[in-house]
Amino acid sequence: MSFGHKHILGMDQLSADDITRILDTADSFKEISAREIKKVPTLRGKTIINIFFEASTRTRASFEIAEKRLSADTLNISASTSALVKGETLEDTARNLEAMHPDIIVMRHGHSGAPHYLAERCNFSVINAGDGAHEHPTQALLDLMTIRDKKGTIGGLTVAIVGDIAHSRVARSNIIALNTMGARVRLAGPRTLLPTGADRLGAEVFTDIKGALDGADVVMMLRIQQERQGSPLLPSNREYSRFFGLNPDNLQRAKEDAIVMHPGPMNRGVEIASSVADGPRNVILDQVENGVAVRMALLYLISGGEKMAE
Amino acid sequence: MKLLIKGGRLLDPANGIDDQLDLLIEEGIVVAVGVGLNEDDAHILDVSNRLVVPGLIDIHVHLREPGYEYKEDVLSGTRAAVAGGFTSVACMPNTDPVNDNKTVTSYILQKAAEAGLANVFPVGAISKGLKGESLSEMGELGEAGCVAMSDDGRPVRDGEIMRRALEYASTFGLPVISHAEDLSLVSGGVMNDSFVATELGLKGIPWVAEDAMVARDVMLAEFTGARLHIAHVSTRGAVEIIRAAQKRGVMVTAEVTPHHFTLTDEAVRGYDTNAKMNPPLRSADDLAAIREGLADGTIGVIATDHAPHHRDEKNVEFNIALNGIVGLETALPLTLRLVDEGVLTLAEAIDRLSSGPARALGLHRGQLTAGHVADITVIDLDARWTLNAAQLQSKSKNTPFDGWSFKGAVSHTLVAGKLVFDRLEGRESIV
Ligand SMILES: [Zn+2]
Ligand SMILES: [Zn+2]
C-alpha cells in the first residue's frame, strides 16, 4: 500500500491511519539507530536539501541524522550564511532549488504558508520543518511517538498543553494530531497567549494551569520566547513562572504516572522548574531520540517506500 | 454633433426613473429624455434590450501615477475604468510624489485629459507627505481640482490633526475621507483576527482596530459639523456606528468595496495573497452587516479601492505580500450578484454605483435628466461571461475573482456623450 502523501505540510492532512503507519514505521527505524552500524541503503541516490530560513540546531540536526542513516545525499542551506537565499524572493529560491533536482526539500521558514508555496509550484516533495506560527508536523509526530511509547496508546489520554499557544506551531500541530488520535486536549495560558477562537480548536481552554493539570496523563510545556517578556503580552518571566510554570507542587495534580514533555530548548525556572526538568517523569531526551526515527519514517514513506529495507 | 441613445431601459435612481426612454445628447449634455425620440441629424446608438444608467462613479481608486507606473498609470487605470463601466474615478493621493500640492494635482489632470477616457477627480492629501503631522494646502488643492482630502493608505493617528483637518477642509467645502484603523491595534496583523487566522498561524487584525477609529472620526465630524466619508467599511461595528451617527444628523457617508461584500476571511485559506487587503476580509457576520448597511442606505457608496500591484509584489509569502486588489473591472458584475441574491434592488445597486458616490463627494453627476453631463453606462444584464485576469485592461492582474462566472456586463461606456468603451471591440473574455 502506497503512503499517498507527496508532501508533509501539516497534521491537518494526515488521518489516524496515516499517523499510525508513520509511528509503526518509526518504531522499526528506531531499532536501526541502536545498531553498531547505523546506516541502511534505503534512500541511496536520493538528494535531500535542508533549507532553513530560521536558525534551528535541534530540528536540522535531527533531519540530517535521519537522512544520513538512510544513505541519502544531503545538502544544508541556511539563510543566514548562504548567498542563495539572502535577499532573494521565495519564487527565485524555488526555481534555484528545482534546478538542483532534489527529491525532497525539508524547509523551515519564519512565514506561515511558505512550505505550501513551494509545494504548489515545484516538483519535489516538501517536508515542513516549521512554518511561522502555523505548523510543525514532525514535532507533533515525535511527540505522539513518545506518548505512545510511554503510555501504550494515545486515544483516551488527557494531554495538557501549557504556555504560549497563540504563537506556537508546536501547539497547533499537536492539537490537531492529538484530536485525530482521539486524545482529550487541554490548553492553558494567560489570555494574551491564547489564540482567537482557542475554544474551537478541539480543546478545553484553561486560564489556570492547575485546572489543566488535574488528572492529566501528559503535560506538554511550551517554550516562552524571550521577547514576550515586557511586551504587551506578558509583564515578566517571574510572574509567568508563578502562575503558569510547571513545578513539583502543581505537577502533583497530574496523574501519578504522568509524563512531562517539552519541545526544547527549555527555559529552566520560567516555564519549567529545574527539579521537574531533571525529574523522573521527564521524557525530553526520548523525544529527541524519537525525532530521528519519525523523520526517517517520513522520508522513507514519502519516497514511496512500501516495505522496510532489510 | 448629436447622439440619440435609442431603445433602451433608462434607470436613473436619483430621479426615480425606470422606463423605456430615449436620450438625446448634444455637445456632451443630455438635452432631452423621452419616449420614442427621433432626430434626423443625430447618430443613433441602438441599445435595445439594454439597461441605460448614469455613468458609474468610483470614488476610491489608486491610479499609481506619478511614481508607480509599473503597477498602473492614469491611461491604463482609466482604460480599466471605462471597461468596467466607470465614467468617473476619484484617485487617492498616495503616489510618489504624494498629491499634497497643486503641481501633482495638475499633472494627474493633464494625464487624464491626454487619456481622454474617464473623468478623473483627484483626492488631495490631508497632511503633507501623508505623514499625519501638518495639513496640506487644501484651499489650493481644491482650486487645482481636488474634490476631497484623504491620507488613504494610512490613518490620521493624531486626533488634533484630524479635528483641524475636518474644520479646515470644510472651510473650502471639501469632504474628508477617512481610512479608519488604529495602527496600534493592528499591531502587525495581516488578516482578520479570527479562528481562520489561528488555523493558518497568521497574525490577526481585530475588528476593534477599525471600529475604534471610525468612532473617533464620526465623533470628530459631529463635533466639527464637517463632512466625513468613511472609506472601505469592513466591520459590523463600523456600520452600526455610522448608522447611529446618521440618525443624529451627523454628516457622515460611507463606502464598501465589492470584495468586502462578497468574500470573507475564508478566502485567505491556502495563503492566497489576492485575499490580502487592508482592511482585511472579515467574518460572515460582518459581511451580513455590510449588506444590511448597503440595503438600508447607511452605506450609500460602492467603491472599489482599486489597488493594482505588480505580480512580484503578490507572488510572495502571505506575511510580506502587499495589500489590495484591482477592482474596476469586477465591481459592476459583483454588485449585480447582490441584485440576483435579493440584497439590493437594481435601482439601489445602480444608485450605490452612481448617484450615491456623486452625493458623497458633491459631484454634479450621477443622474441623466436634461441638462446633465452625458456620462452614461449601458449594461447587458443577460450577458454571461467568465473573468480571465490576464485579459484585464489594468496593468496589474491581482484579483481573487479570476475564473469567476458572472451575469451582466458593460456593453457601452460614454463620457460626455463620447463612446469610450464598446464591449464588442473590448475584452475577448466576454462571450
Ligand atoms: Zn484605505
Ligand atoms: Zn485605498
Q: Does B310 touch chain A (CB under 8 A)?
A: no
Q: Which of chain A's residues have a Cβ under 8 Å away from the Cβ of B320?
A: 111
Query: Is B316 close to A201, i.e. CB distance below 8 A?
Result: no
Identify the three-state secondary structure at position B294: helix
Q: What pLDDT sits at residue A80?
A: 67
How many Å is the Cα radius of gyration of chain A? Answer: 19
CB atoms near residue A67 (< 10 Å): 26
- Residue A147 makes CB contacts below 8 A (sequence gap 6+) with A154, A157, A159, A183, A218, A259, A261
Q: Which of chain A's residues have a Cβ under 8 Å away from the Cβ of B198?
A: 166, 195-198, 201
Q: How many CB contacts within 8 angstroms connect chain A with chain B?
A: 59
Name the residue type at position B209: A
Name the active-site residue from B286, B305, B375, B380.
Answer: B305
Is the confidence at residue B38, as pLDDT, over 90? yes
> Could you tell me the pLDDT band of residue B129, with boundaries at 50, 70 and 90?
very high
Q: Predicted ipTM?
A: 0.91
Q: Give yes or no for a contact between A204 and A165, defined as CB atoms under 8 angstroms apart.
A: no
Chosen from B316, B317, B322 to mutate, greatest number of chain A CBs within 10 A: B317
User: What ligand has the least distance to the C-alpha of B324?
Assistant: 2
Could you read off the pLDDT of A165-215 as tens digits, one per residue?
999 999 999 999 999 999 999 999 999 999 999 999 999 999 999 999 999
Percentages helix, strand, coil for chain A, rounded to the nearest 5? 40, 15, 40
Distance of CA A92 to the CA centre of its chain: 28
Name the residue type at position B302: I
If one compares B201 and A81, the residue with the highest pLDDT of the two is B201
Q: Does B41 touch chain A (CB under 8 A)?
A: no
Query: Is B201 close to A132, i.e. CB distance below 8 A?
Result: yes
Could you read off the pLDDT of B223-241 as tens digits, one per residue?
999 999 999 999 999 999 9
**C-alpha B224 to ligand 1 mean position (Å):** 23
B305 is catalytic: yes
Q: Give yes or no for a contact between B192 and B227, defined as CB atoms under 8 angstroms apart.
A: no
Short-list A209, A120, A237, A218, CA closest to A177: A218
Residue with cell 526555481: A95
Kindly report the pTM of this predicted structure.
Answer: 0.94
Alpha-carbon distance B199 to B177, whole Å? 34
Q: Does A118 touch chain B (CB under 8 A)?
A: no
Name the residue type at position B352: R
CB atoms near residue A14 (< 10 Å): 22
C-alpha cell at position B430: 466576454
How many Å is the Cα radius of gyration of chain B? Answer: 20
Identify the three-state secondary structure at position B11: strand
Could you read off the pLDDT of B314-346 as tens digits, one per residue?
999 999 999 999 999 999 999 999 999 999 999
Query: Is A112 close to B312, i.e. CB distance below 8 A?
Result: no
Q: Give yes or no for a contact between B282 and B326, defined as CB atoms under 8 angstroms apart.
A: no
CB atoms near residue B428 (< 10 Å): 7
CB atoms near residue B40 (< 10 Å): 6
Alpha-carbon distance B407 to B387, whole Å? 11
Residue among A90, A117, A197 whose CB faces B194 most closely:
A197
Is the confidence at residue B130, as pLDDT, over 90? yes
- Who surrounds ion ligand 2 at CB < 5 A? B 152, 305
CA angle A141, A144, A148 (to 5 degrees): 140
User: What ligand has the least distance to the C-alpha of B231?
Assistant: 1
Which residues of A form the catalytic set?
58-59, 86, 108, 136
Alpha-carbon distance A170 to A134, whole Å? 8
Short-list A42, A13, A53, A14, CA closest to A299: A42
Residue with cell 423621452: B34
In this structure, of A84-88, A148-152, A296-300, B305-309, the range with the lowest mean pLDDT score is: A84-88
Q: Give yes or no for a contact between A151 and A124, defined as CB atoms under 8 angstroms apart.
A: no
Identify the three-state secondary structure at position A200: helix
Q: Read off the pLDDT of each residue in A212-235 and give the average, rounded to a whole number.
A: 92
